[in-house]
Structure 1
Amino acid sequence: MSHKKRNITAMLSKVEEYYLDQSGRELIYKPTEKIPVIQVPNFPELGKMTALRFIEWMQENPGGVISLPTGKTPEHFIKWVAHFLKNWDKENVVNELKKVGLDPGNKPDITSFRFVQIDEFYPIDTNQHNSFYYYIQKFYFSNWGLDRNKALFMNINEIPTPNNLTLDEIFPDQIVDLSLRTRWASTTLERLQKQTIEIVDQFCTDYEKKIREMGGIGFFLGGIGPDGHIGFNVMGSDHYSTTRLIPTNYETQAAAATDLGGIEIARKRLVITIGLDTITHNPDATAIIIAAGEAKANIVRDSIQNERTNKYPATVLQRLKNARFYLTNGAAFRLIERRYFDVAKEEPISQVSVERAVINLVVEKKKSLLELTKEDYNSDKLAKLVLNKTGKTPKQIGQEIYNSIIDRLAKGMAPVSNQVILHTGPHHDDIPLGYLPYINHLVRDPSNKHHFVTMTSGFTAVTNSYMLGLLEDLKIFLHNSEFRERFKERYFDPEFKEGKDKDIHLYLDGLAAHSRTVRKEAVSRRLLRNMIEIYEEDNINYLEDRVDELINYFKTQYPGKKDIPHVQKLKGMMREFEEEIVWAFFGFNTSSVTHMRLGFYQGDIFTENPEMNRDVLPILELLKQINPTIVTVALDPEGSGPDTHYKVLQATSEALKLYEQQTGRSDIKVWGYRNVWYRFHPAEANVYIPVSLNSMAIMENTFLNSYGSQRDASFPSWEYDGPFSRLAQRIQVEQYETIKKCLGKDFFIKHEHPRVRAAYGMVYLKELTLSEFYSHSMELRKLTENY
């Protein structure tokens, strides 16, 4: 073992040493990396490693101070810690502990540890299920058995208020104006608000003082937000910040929108958070940031490879000798030295690695593929490696990639005929956002047959305020004599299948005539039809009572609360109506649209894994019914965007395997697509579809006029403050710009084909054989051993 390796190993705990050895990588690659990193293959393994390291730390630090995260990221960490603690003496756990060098005879006393809550929304009732206080009570205290009497909580309900008023009385619109810290209060209400802010500020100071009196945090575990935030220390936070009440930025609000019931709620919320100096106050603290999936790769890179800077909050961890990033391979993908290490091991170097490095060089140098010189290649470590490993000249490499891009463009414009295409989407709107411009062309050939399926209900994407508006409209229509007459015709009977198509055509009539009233009537018809199906009730008087009941429900439930089952179903069915409207734009009726409602999607913070009978077999039955020649799939890696995408990918993969086994059909093509949650690098895709301004306009019009629940973008991407259709267009434009840089600016302007000349955007697809698709997805099995 080299002296360098011995020094690094000396910094490691036994658990870290084990996992570092398993990874085959260094702990830190200098000079680019400023914080040590340990990699694991996948999200569940990330949770397991973190749990074992936490147990190791607890063994060494009984009674220590711990601060642990909320949200989806710690899911597997929480489950593994519970598994180890509750099954400590069982043989499989003893073996797991011994394997990583831990002493099975030294079980930590979980009740001895002092817990510090990292952050909380403000104002919020901490009894709400979407408060972080509720989360830690459920997953850390009730689940693990931590001692509540030894904890520091941000229980908003227990912070005093002037005259013991409720926060709803003090902040009736839920807006906390922090300018009251520095200006005169002009009304009685403002004086109460100013006093409340002062009380909260004092709470924060006292909270910080208590942490420091304990010696600071001993074990800190955090996730990392899309802007790099840790806790709620957003991009730009002072590295010497302490516990405080602050506003957040847009990226953080968008990330919190799902928890809070919409961006319109998240915009109003302030937060209380410990500071970056709070996290690093104890110089001996073990501070770990965990991140999973390629969607986090850019912010992970910027947080690890930059010197200390306010722009990237995690760079503050450079202060601590025991700071670490624990990452999946996907999250570590853009760390330059690690990427170099991986490519250097490839024998021979893969074409994807060649193209990725060279296309990135094109973007960096602002030169076309054929203009890059040897000096350009040698100025970039990865591109230089490409030269050395291929043994080719820059001109040869550039020409090969140039020709390959031309081939992919040609494939994207080639006619597709006599195909049966099963279009699958994890959520409603995934298909249109992924490749609607391609569908514009595919549907023009009548020899193609199309079927569209959405795999999950999508009820979490529908706000209470949206449903309230629909119900209030319905209440008005129920007093309309012509509307009521339809009861006599049994128009709303769930068995009257044509009625669903009539609802849709009425809606499109309203669009064509620019009549909001007609559109509202169409939506009300479908809403009533759905209520009759759910409640099994067709008496108009009783249904009016149901409408009033639901109006009261949506007025009184706090945003973000998990809905009761029949409300989940009603919300999901309204999303299904929206999806049917989309495909009616292209002439398809409801018989061409399937709503799968897979059971693993239940609206919980931790989504279940797909199961064979519940989730796979329904997809298999649909495959048998449609007998497709092409199946489209959202090809998102694990941990990127909503985990629903990846779990649908698993279930679809397993269903296709069974279908192939039972029918002998191995000739099916899979078209993998991505959209606003994650996107292809040009090197990963093998079909490029040029997108015209006309196609962009169709996508915009279709999206905004079909997805009524999404028009106001209540659950937007952190990348763009607006509807997903605009973000999809922006991504398509960026993809086009990359290809234009590769081919040279005149390629599109002077091309002989009008579709190419008309292009201002680009859609990427990855066409796969079934065997290639299976290799891109995990087997349907338990991702981890039983917890």
Structure 2
Amino acid sequence: MVASPNERIACRIFSRASDASIAAAAEIANLIRAKSSRGEQTVLGLVAGSSPVGVYTELVRLHRAGELSFASVVTFNSDEYHPMHSGELQSTSRFMHDHLLDHVDIDPANVYLPDGTIPKDQAAAFCARYEQSIRDAGGIDIQLLGVNRAGHIGLNEPGSDRSSRTRLITLDTPTRTDAASDFFGAENVPRHAITMGVGTLLSARRILMLAFGEGKADVVARMVEGYAGANVPATFLQDHPSAEILLDEASASALTRIRSPWLLGEVAWDDAAIRRAVIDLAEGLDKAILKLTDGDYNENGLQDLLAAHGNSYDINLTVFRQLQSTITGWPGGKPEHRKRPGDRPGHRDDIFPKRVMVFSPHPDDDVISMGGTLIRLVDQGHDVHIAYQTSGNIAVFDEDALRFAEFVEDFCSEFEIQADGLDQLSQHIDSFLRKKQPGQLDSDEVLRIKGLIRRGEARQGARCCGVPDANLHYLDLPFYQTGRITKSPLSKKDVDITVDLLRSTQPHQIYAAGDLSDPHGTHRTCLSAILQACVICQNDPWYEACAVWMYRGAWQEWSPHQIEMAVPLSPLEVSRKRVAIFKHESQKDRALFPGSDIREFWQRAEARNADTAMRYDKLGLAEYAAIEGFVRWDGKTGIDL
């Protein structure tokens, strides 16, 4: 894989995020051992966030295995919200203690963390002392970094100067919106933060940045191949003599060497490469595929493709037919009486109707991401099941939980029902729910109320699609049941629950969320549980007839060059899908965890489905109101299994 001449920062691309984390941890561990053997201390610059968790996990594993001591290590963390007490859920201090510091033999006196409780009028003096402490320690040997979608490093907002030092800053609205889910609402996100400056971070002798997932692909490309400037602070890493970015395949997908390798030299022109190149060419020129000419190929870096495969029209026709073959109005296959000569056979067309298992990470992902296909599968006579993998209970506003709890109280009072535990519930509502503070963890009772709210909404959404209640499965996977944003690691119990469901239903089709940009990783974890279960079941007799399809839509969409099954939706099906999404009332108008996209989920889904249809139309295919796209899992994946 040839690196582009445009790459201004060294990049290493790994097949899986876990491999990148292990590589970063290995470099850190080797430096600690080497310096310790010389009687020297190692100074690490650390960050909180989802990206470095795998690094800390591996460092802890090495320590517990007796392979690494932190006795000679000094750490400095890059940032902290202000105001923020060290014990609060969202604090850098708590994060670092939970994921690293409490599990290794580091001297507490060697741990430096920005103080989120320092009065504002004392912040400048504190920041100056923090800088001096770094200098007194001899400077940072390795600085670990992550990057957000806007290109921040630390909490340096766009406009931060290259020479900036540790300081108190005011957070921009986009930054606070991105952090909203950690704080149970944007209104609870602190407006200020203490952060190492860009200059402070660049003073480290070595910088390792981690970036994982499709959601980071665009900013990685801008950071690596764009020009350095204060509007994207991460681009200043281009000036560092020993900075390197560790990527997984998803986060590297927008780099030229991955997106358009033919621009860098010879490539192996297999079907996938040809399809991507031709679709990219057509979209870049805003032309239908069958209208591309030899000149279009020659003038846009595809001379080798043209030379290897003859004239442009033959190439165009091959790609056009491939893309056309993805479109099907029968995602589960056709019954015999509807088959016609010339129909393209699907997977196991000899089986009709099929048993279909749709996995939904949260209680609304099924209708948001593939609601139209779900409706069509039911309407066409298939036996459709839905498995809700998590309760989604942390994504319900307190006022909704209070409203439902008060309804139970009023209902029992109105009908003079003496329900067991009602008095205790009423007391708990008074003592906890009505007095709950922003960011405070929910009690078990409140989590159960919120889980029931989402379960009821899921049931109503499924009924809109025609799925009977008996075909709904509420898995409540244990990894999710923490009551916090941060979840437990996937366990054998999670996988076993999934295996048991698959073996009891023996589906002919499995639909799973491949939308891996979910900011808190629930989709990724849920997909890993499904794929691990499929690997376990792969030798079962029923599995031979099973196909696994991955959908997207809540956070992003498949591109035409990736789509292997495109299900067109009529305007009526788009409307029915919208109604099913609306049944998730706790997520309507304003979701608790919206991510960086401020649109409602139904708006995102409709826009993405319409955009996919428009892209097919512009490429010269039939014009539809909307298209839901799917990619088939072939048993190989970059997901951490």
Normalised TM-score (structure 1): 0.72
2:20 to 46, 56, 60: 46
1:657 and 1:209 map into 2 onto residues whose CA distance is 53
**For residue 396 of structure 1, what is the aligned residue in structure 2?**
314
Q: Determine if contact 2:85/2:91 at 8 Å carries over to the other structure.
A: yes
2:156 to 233, 239, 247: 233
| Residue 673 (structure 1) shift | 1.0
1:652 aligns with 2:630: no
Residues 306-333 of structure 1 deviation map (CA, whole Å, 9 limit, x = unaligned): 1212232211112210111111233222
Unaligned runs of 5+ in 2: 336-352
1:711 and 1:53 map into 2 onto residues whose CA distance is 47
| Residue 246 (structure 1) shift | 2.9
2:360 and 2:333 map into 1 onto residues whose CA distance is 23
| Residue 362 (structure 1) shift | 1.9
**For residue 322 of structure 1, what is the aligned residue in structure 2?**
242
1:708 aligns with 2:586: yes
| Residue 199 (structure 1) shift | 3.6
Larger Rg: 1
Q: Determine if contact 1:216/1:278 at 8 Å carries over to the other structure.
A: no
Residues 243-274 of structure 1 deviation map (CA, whole Å, 9 limit, x = unaligned): 233333454334322321223423x5432222
Q: SS in structure 2 opposite 1:775?
A: coil
Q: SS in structure 2 opposite 1:304?
A: helix
Cα distance change on mapping 1:392 and 1:421 into 2, 3 Å: same
1:328 and 1:777 map into 2 onto residues whose CA distance is 8
2:506 and 2:110 map into 1 onto residues whose CA distance is 61
1:416 and 1:122 map into 2 onto residues whose CA distance is 60
Q: CA RMSD in A?
A: 3.1
1:434 to 366, 369, 385: 369
**For residue 762 of structure 1, what is the aligned residue in structure 2?**
627
**For residue 275 of structure 1, what is the aligned residue in structure 2?**
197
| Residue 69 (structure 1) shift | 1.2
1:449 aligns with 2:383: yes
Cα distance change on mapping 1:287 and 1:617 into 2, 3 Å: closer
| Residue 433 (structure 1) shift | 1.4
1:687 and 1:313 map into 2 onto residues whose CA distance is 40
Paired amino acid for 1:53? E
1:469 and 1:404 map into 2 onto residues whose CA distance is 52
**For residue 49 of structure 2, what is the aligned residue in structure 1?**
71
Cα distance change on mapping 1:543 and 1:59 into 2, 3 Å: same
- What is the correspondence of 1:506-585 to structure 2 with a 5 Å cutoff? 538-539=419-420, 542-585=421-464
**For residue 617 of structure 1, what is the aligned residue in structure 2?**
496
2:448 and 2:407 map into 1 onto residues whose CA distance is 19
Q: Determine if contact 1:653/1:777 at 8 Å carries over to the other structure.
A: no
Q: Determine if contact 1:675/1:728 at 8 Å carries over to the other structure.
A: yes
More helix by share: 1
1:217 aligns with 2:140: yes
| Residue 206 (structure 1) shift | 4.5
Cα distance change on mapping 1:775 and 1:153 into 2, 3 Å: closer
1:46 and 1:469 map into 2 onto residues whose CA distance is 46
1:376 to 296, 301, 316: 296
Cα distance change on mapping 1:460 and 1:273 into 2, 3 Å: same
2:370 and 2:224 map into 1 onto residues whose CA distance is 34
2:81 to 117, 121, 126: 121
Cα distance change on mapping 1:698 and 1:86 into 2, 3 Å: same
Q: Determine if contact 1:356/1:683 at 8 Å carries over to the other structure.
A: yes
Cα distance change on mapping 1:82 and 1:658 into 2, 3 Å: closer
- Sequence identity, in percent? 23
- What is the correspondence of 1:657-736 to structure 2 with a 5 Å cutoff? 657-659=535-537, 661-709=539-587, 711-718=589-596, 720-736=597-613
**For residue 21 of structure 1, what is the aligned residue in structure 2?**
none
2:331 and 2:466 map into 1 onto residues whose CA distance is 22
**For residue 528 of structure 1, what is the aligned residue in structure 2?**
none
Paired amino acid for 1:220? Q
**353-362 or 319-328: bigger deviation:** 353-362
Paired amino acid for 1:737? M
2:638 and 2:221 map into 1 onto residues whose CA distance is 25
Cα distance change on mapping 1:344 and 1:34 into 2, 3 Å: closer
Paired amino acid for 2:221? R
**313-322 or 362-371: bigger deviation:** 362-371
- What is the correspondence of 1:144-163 to structure 2 with a 5 Å cutoff? 144-157=104-117, 159-160=118-119
Residues 673-705 of structure 1 deviation map (CA, whole Å, 9 limit, x = unaligned): 112234312122122223344444433343234
Cα distance change on mapping 1:661 and 1:53 into 2, 3 Å: closer
Paired amino acid for 2:354? Q
1:464 aligns with 2:398: yes
**For residue 248 of structure 1, what is the aligned residue in structure 2?**
171
**For residue 774 of structure 1, what is the aligned residue in structure 2?**
635
| Residue 290 (structure 1) shift | 0.7
Paired amino acid for 2:277? A
1:600 aligns with 2:560: no
Residues 483-530 of structure 1 deviation map (CA, whole Å, 9 limit, x = unaligned): x45x6xxxxxxxxxxxxxxxxxxxxxxxxxxxxxxxxxxxxxxxxxxx
Q: SS in structure 1 opposite 2:576?
A: helix
| Residue 658 (structure 1) shift | 4.9
Q: Determine if contact 1:293/1:640 at 8 Å carries over to the other structure.
A: no
Paired amino acid for 2:627? M
| Residue 406 (structure 1) shift | 2.4
1:260 to 180, 183, 194: 183
1:651 and 1:30 map into 2 onto residues whose CA distance is 36
**For residue 338 of structure 2, what is the aligned residue in structure 1?**
none
2:354 and 2:263 map into 1 onto residues whose CA distance is 38
1:225 and 1:435 map into 2 onto residues whose CA distance is 28
**230-239 or 430-439: bigger deviation:** 230-239
2:398 and 2:266 map into 1 onto residues whose CA distance is 52
Cα distance change on mapping 1:114 and 1:300 into 2, 3 Å: same
Cα distance change on mapping 1:671 and 1:60 into 2, 3 Å: closer
Residues 724-747 of structure 1 deviation map (CA, whole Å, 9 limit, x = unaligned): 221122222222232122117xx5
| Residue 37 (structure 1) shift | 1.3
**401-410 or 561-570: bigger deviation:** 561-570
Cα distance change on mapping 1:455 and 1:144 into 2, 3 Å: same
Unaligned runs of 5+ in 1: 1-24, 94-106, 161-196, 488-537, 749-755
Cα distance change on mapping 1:123 and 1:609 into 2, 3 Å: closer
1:405 aligns with 2:284: no
Residues 132-155 of structure 1 deviation map (CA, whole Å, 9 limit, x = unaligned): 121123333222233332343222
1:386 and 1:606 map into 2 onto residues whose CA distance is 47
